[in-house]
A and B are shown apart, each in its own frame.
Chain A
Amino acid sequence: MSYAPSPAALARIDRTIAGYPERPAAILPVLHIIQEEAGFVSGEAARWVAARLGLEAVRVREVISFYTMFRTAPAGRHTLRVCRNLSCHLAGADDLLSFISQKLGIGPDETTSDGGITLVTAECLGNCDHAPCLQIDGVDHGPVSRDAAAALIEEIQAHGR
């Protein structure tokens, strides 16, 4: 079973590679494109990237393991990132995180049993004037109260998928 990106993703990937004088430089945007489509970067996909960029497989693994945004295993359909750095901590991020954790029934780096949501803690998301903040699938929310968090979660869950 070998990996191949969709034709649309492949077109984006090749366009991206063309934007750099050296192919390996495209590795971060290419990995993002692949993860956006598949939800994670599988071993197969990593080998595909290595071949496409002219890199040894071990170099791709180096990059994937260094940067925290890449996943090597399937995760939830939605990612809920909760910031716990200083400004958000001062605004009650600890409490927010426990509340969300309890509501979802999972801890950080875990996924709900229906595969819907993966909970992740994050360092500063650059949204400190709206602390405590969180990010759902890349969309910033803040300041997030317990009620607001509950509403956001219910909205995700209501849409099923």
Chain B
Amino acid sequence: MAALGDIGLVEPLRKHATAGHNHLTLSIGNSGNGPITNTGLTAATANGLILLSDRGTARVDATRANGSGIWSFYDISVGRYTAVDVVTNGQWFIDVEADLSFTVTENPGAPVTTAYAFA
């Protein structure tokens, strides 16, 4: 052990906390919630929505939050995510901005073929 003098720099709490963890709730609905309604795509079905991410942190809640088609996503950071309905193969982009606002749009290329094994 040694006395090292004035070597420290304490980062402000706000910066540290927001860098570590963000919590955001998004909605994808089948009856009037947001842009998806305007896409003409078949709605996301219960027990069928998964969230694709190459950032390794985002996830969708384990169960559908309610029967009206509201899903919650957690640990979202800035960037684009893709939600896929593994039953209908409908696909949506979720673009999250720096202020954690977001937009949801359809992927015009969908439906696509997906394969997903539930562990």
Do A and B associate with each other? no
B residues at A contact (CB < 8 Å): none
